[in-house]
Amino acid sequence: MLTALLPAFATIGDPHFALRVIGSGFTPTSIIVFAGQDEPVTYLSPGEMTTGVNMNLWLGPDPAIPVKVRNADGQESNELTFEFRAPIVVEPVPPDPSRPLPHVDQI
């Protein structure tokens, strides 16, 4: 059973990262199924595994990427959703010409 993905989302353009899968019933032969693809894992315990996420594979935001765990006997966990988000773009605000900037001696 899956209970958490850490992190639960990433921003397009972020560096590669390790996705931690938290739950129960994992075995050393369990795999993480990320977006329908079997991923290599590092087994940590019956309740935690990790896999690397290659951010170069993701070109755009995707609001609902399914993640689940499959054991060697074919038993699958529930799915949780991982999200790739678009980067936040901060546009500079042009100065308001109706409000002159103060002189240094007025600050």
Q: Is the pTM of this model over 0.85?
A: no
pLDDT-derived band at 62, boundaries 50, 70, 90: low
Indicate left, alpha or beta for 60 from its phi (over 0: left) and psi (-120 to 50: alpha).
beta
Coil, helix or strand at residue 61:
coil
Q: Is the pLDDT of residue 105 over 70?
A: no
Among 10, 14, 18, 2, smallest CA distance to 50 is for 18
What sign has the CA pseudo-torsion 5, 7, 11, 16?
negative
pLDDT of residue 56: 66
pLDDT-derived band at 26, boundaries 50, 70, 90: very high
Q: Is the pLDDT of residue 106 over 60?
A: no
- Ranked by mean pLDDT, the top range of 20-29, 31-40, 95-104 is 20-29
Q: Is the pLDDT of residue 65 over 80?
A: yes
